[in-house]
Structure 1
């Protein structure tokens, strides 16, 4: 990449959730729904000494992408680590449900979810879990009609129940800075010990759950530089494609591959790649 190109790049990772949604939508079409002035704050955080945020850390924006009707759902990783509770989860699930309803009524609305989340918000545990389950169901419903595109850029990554949501998307876009895993490094270390997974070992973490590894093992579909224009172009390409067989429909293949793995062996990047490439005996 030339020096001029490097200087012209706009980091997508460094943007907040609202700015990321604006980058993806066609110029002049951004319209925020259930925004901060609607006062949809969590009723539970203040009771536990946490200052709530007026949009509960979730941006819902309608507009067009490449001329197609679209809704962008962006999670703000800077608020509570992007964790989802009752209100933020309901905003995402409700928007996806309305997009599916649009399709049934003749408006071919696509959806893009920008994941920056550690999963359920601990302060709202069961309510957050129920909301994430609603998100899963809504993705499965909508993807029958139009693509549901997931983007994991960084810096938080995508973990917990929302990693399942990422796996349910029609296509998943990642950057080198992205991370995707069911459990976060600190949780694994806490439960299995530092010998199993050192949450401070950044090279190890990215080698197993980073964007490059997730592409190599087939858990993501597009690998893009941290550049707003490049991510916008990739998303615009994907929302124009007809719905394809989702990755989640290949569960038998993944179960067969996992059955080959010996959990007594310490996993490393090469072994995981061989496993999901079908090369490991």
Structure 2
């Protein structure tokens, strides 16, 4: 099959909305939404600040099966408030993970998939959003003792802020080339450190440093997939049965690598960062 024909027959995962993504990953016909938009569980804080809320607060929770095994999927809608985490949306994700934990305690093996399309905490909800992210992180750590928690960053919002820490806590992390992963987003870095430090409009630079391909090459992501629904699902099924990457427990090696990124390293570029994280630096 030629590359052109393969491209025409592929179905972009990045272009799907959160609900479509969750449905596409679960086994056909198994998707059941929990606390959907008709439940009207939305943020009570946004309207007070002149912001129109969304009926599901930008988070879709689905329960179903993944290759026949019980699974919960939490998908963040990046198109609503930049996928930011507020009180309600964060509670929905934490609750879904806790539901999976309860299933495992009751002898029902249930894994979890987090579709991370988020800029981090919702500034309009401040401490409430931060508390919700902390609950998500605690639930990830507890659930991964029973079954894998797989984080998936597809694009185009990326995964930043406190939710990037949640991504690092997952048993496995799957990314696409369009994905981005970092503690701070480009705009935040430029605002705080200046355009000379990081130009938020320089897309090639941004993706060369925090893009999915770079994060996978640097070992910060466990798998790398093309932007295709079938390809991503196949990678996901493989990760469900793979041993946990345990990235969060390998912090000593990460600290040693970070120590090499000191001010005495002149003109550190994307290639040098990749080499350093692969452990090949002198």
- Per-residue deviation at 1:4? 2.2
Moved more, 219-228 or 266-275: 266-275
> Which residue of structure 2 aligns with residue 258 of structure 1?
258
Aligned counterparts of 1:198 and 1:263: Cα–Cα separation in 2: 19
Equivalent residues of 1:196, 1:266 under 8 A apart: no
- The C-alpha deviation readout for 1:170-208, integer Å capped at 9, x for no partner, is 111111100000000000011111111000000000000
> Which residue of structure 1 aligns with residue 153 of structure 2?
152
- Per-residue deviation at 1:266? 3.9
> Which residue of structure 2 aligns with residue 13 of structure 1?
14
* SS of corresponding position for 1:261: coil
Equivalent residues of 2:156, 2:178 under 8 A apart: yes
Aligned counterparts of 1:136 and 1:171: Cα–Cα separation in 2: 14
Equivalent residues of 2:172, 2:244 under 8 A apart: no
* SS of corresponding position for 1:122: coil
* SS of corresponding position for 1:84: coil
> Which residue of structure 1 aligns with residue 102 of structure 2?
101
Aligned counterparts of 2:274 and 2:5: Cα–Cα separation in 1: 35
- Please report the RMSD computed on the Cα atoms of aligned residues, expressed in angstroms: 1.1
Equivalent residues of 2:222, 2:245 under 8 A apart: no
* SS of corresponding position for 1:197: coil
Task: Provide the TM-score with structure 2 as the length reference.
Answer: 0.97
Aligned counterparts of 1:85 and 1:2: Cα–Cα separation in 2: 42
* SS of corresponding position for 1:223: strand
- Per-residue deviation at 1:237? 1.7
Aligned counterparts of 2:212 and 2:255: Cα–Cα separation in 1: 22
- The C-alpha deviation readout for 1:20-61, integer Å capped at 9, x for no partner, is 001000011000001111110000000000000000000000
In the alignment, is residue 230 of structure 1 matched against residue 231 of structure 2?
yes
* SS of corresponding position for 2:27: coil
Aligned counterparts of 1:211 and 1:2: Cα–Cα separation in 2: 21
CA change 1:266–1:44 in 2 (3 A) is: farther
1:1-281 equivalent positions in 2, closer than 5 A: 1-241=2-242, 243-263=243-263, 265-281=266-282
- Per-residue deviation at 1:2? 3.1
Aligned counterparts of 1:237 and 1:211: Cα–Cα separation in 2: 18
- Gaps of at least 5 residues in structure 1 are none
Task: Provide the TM-score with structure 1 as the length reference.
Answer: 0.97
- Per-residue deviation at 1:97? 1.1
- Per-residue deviation at 1:239? 1.4
- Gaps of at least 5 residues in structure 2 are none
* SS of corresponding position for 2:216: helix
